[in-house]
């Protein structure tokens, strides 16, 4: 066994470390790449505008200074950088002949994307708890969801997301990458990068699975339990209008949770399996690019307070111009 391990070390030492990776992207067809550039540039712009509007409105409008909009502001701020961690590089590669990313750039992209993804899992849990308190304990809402608790929950979400990301990135950086250096993805996602390592990655894949249990499945199960209690409380409401109002306050969050968790679990809950590249790329594209664009649309189109704040801002702008 010792001789075998020594042989592996000796063989790996003969290889030159990979300095950059080539990202295959979504397609090699040049015409389709141009079309995809236009589509995803539009998606990126819409995502930025939508999330910036939510951050801006929830900051300047005093009526939106509530726990629900505090967490929504955090989510929108996160989604701005979530898409920015992958989309600009993807857009550049659509128009480039040389679709490369440096080793350090790849690790940095992995760290940022993972950190923001993990943070979103916990933020969605915080938003579910806020809705639980609002519906199940409305008389104690202001006492329970006080600013200090909201701040602690938000900071905790960001910290846990960063810790999860650091673990995966540090372990991935310790692996030898001797070639090939062609990643069948549009960005440096952990499972795809691990395929480039020229050694056994069982430990890394096991970490992915168990941390996914903590960061993805754990919060998701708590969200399910939370909504089970919420539904039970709503069913006890006697009036149909009261039930509709209670359901409407949760509908947007339920949609966002379903879109985000559904696709992210598809990627990270397959320990040691051979990832089907095309399916993974589509799933990743959905939760890291499409969902951040849909979030502001879901929350603004279904939310009277956000629409009212936008109308108020528009009226003030019109008055100031006259």
Q: 2.40.50.100, 3.20.20.450, 1.20.1070.10, 3.30.420.40: which CATH number matches 21-321?
A: 1.20.1070.10
**CB proximity list for 268: less than 8 A, separation 6 or greater:** 191, 208, 209, 212, 216
pLDDT tens digits, the chain, 322 residues: what are they? 444 344 444 354 555 678 899 999 998 899 999 999 999 999 999 999 999 999 999 999 888 899 999 999 999 999 999 999 999 999 999 999 889 999 999 999 999 999 999 999 999 999 999 999 999 999 999 999 999 999 999 999 999 999 999 999 999 999 999 878 999 999 999 988 999 999 999 999 999 889 988 998 899 999 999 999 999 988 888 888 878 877 887 888 888 898 888 777 766 555 444 456 677 788 888 888 999 999 888 887 667 778 777 777 777 767 676 6
Name the β-bridge partners of 23. Answer: 183
Of 172, 194, 206, 167, give the one whose Cα is nearest residue 277. 194
Integer CA distances (angstroms), 19 to 98, 104, 105, 133, 295, in order: 14, 8, 10, 51, 37
The position carrying tokens 């857009």 is: 91
The position carrying tokens 């990979």 is: 18
Report the 10 Å Cβ neighbour count for 237.
15
- Residue 311, exposed/middle/buried by CB under 10 A (0-12, 13-18, 19+)? exposed
Q: What is the DSSP letter of 271?
A: T
Distance of alpha carbon 145 from the chain centroid: 24
* Separation CA 211–CA 201 (nearest Å): 15
* Residues 77-116 pLDDT 10s: 999 999 999 999 999 999 998 899 999 999 999 999 999 9
Structure tokens at 221: 């199960």
Beta strands, E only, the chain: 20-23, 100-102, 182-183
In three state form, how does the secondary structure of 223-257 look? HHHHHHHHHHHHHCCCCHHHHHHHHHHHHHHHHHH
In this prediction the pTM is 0.87
Distance of alpha carbon 316 from the chain centroid: 34
Residues 26 and 184: beta-carbon distance below 8 Å: no
Task: List the domain boundaries for the chain.
Answer: 21-321
């Amino acid at each position: 066994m010792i001789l075998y391990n020594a042989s592996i070390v000796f063989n790996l030492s003969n290889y030159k470390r990979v300095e950059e990776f080539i990202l295959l992207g979504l397609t090699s067809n040049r015409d389709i790449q141009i079309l995809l550039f236009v589509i995803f540039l539009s998606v990126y712009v819409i995502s930025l505008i939508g999330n910036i509007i939510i951050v801006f409105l929830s900051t300047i409008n005093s009526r939106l200074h509530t726990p629900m909009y505090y967490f929504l502001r955090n989510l929108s701020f996160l989604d701005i950088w979530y898409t920015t961690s992958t989309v600009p590089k993807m857009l550049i590669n659509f128009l480039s002949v040389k679709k490369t990313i440096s080793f350090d750039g790849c690790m940095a992209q992995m760290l940022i994307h993972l950190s923001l993804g993990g943070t979103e899992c916990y933020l969605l849990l915080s938003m579910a708890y806020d809705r639980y308190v609002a519906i199940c304990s409305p008389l104690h809402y202001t006492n329970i969801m006080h600013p200090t608790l909201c701040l602690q929950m938000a900071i905790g979400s960001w910290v846990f997301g960063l810790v999860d990301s650091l673990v995966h990135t540090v372990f991935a950086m310790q692996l030898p990458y001797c070639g090939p250096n062609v990643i069948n993805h549009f960005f440096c996602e952990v499972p795809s990068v691990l395929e480039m390592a020229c050694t056994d990655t069982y430990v890394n894949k096991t970490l992915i699975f168990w941390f996914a249990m903590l960061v993805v499945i754990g919060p998701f199960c708590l969200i399910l339990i939370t909504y089970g209690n919420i539904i039970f409380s709503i069913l006890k409401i006697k009036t149909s209008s009261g039930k509709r109002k209670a359901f409407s306050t949760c509908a947007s969050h339920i949609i966002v949770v379903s879109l985000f968790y559904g696709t992210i679990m598809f990627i990270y809950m397959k320990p040691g399996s051979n990832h089907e590249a095309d399916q993974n790329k589509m799933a990743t594209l959905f939760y890291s690019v499409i969902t951040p664009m849909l979030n502001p649309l879901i929350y603004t189109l279904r939310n009277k307070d956000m629409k009212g704040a936008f109308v108020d801002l528009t009226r003030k702008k019109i008055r100031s111009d006259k």
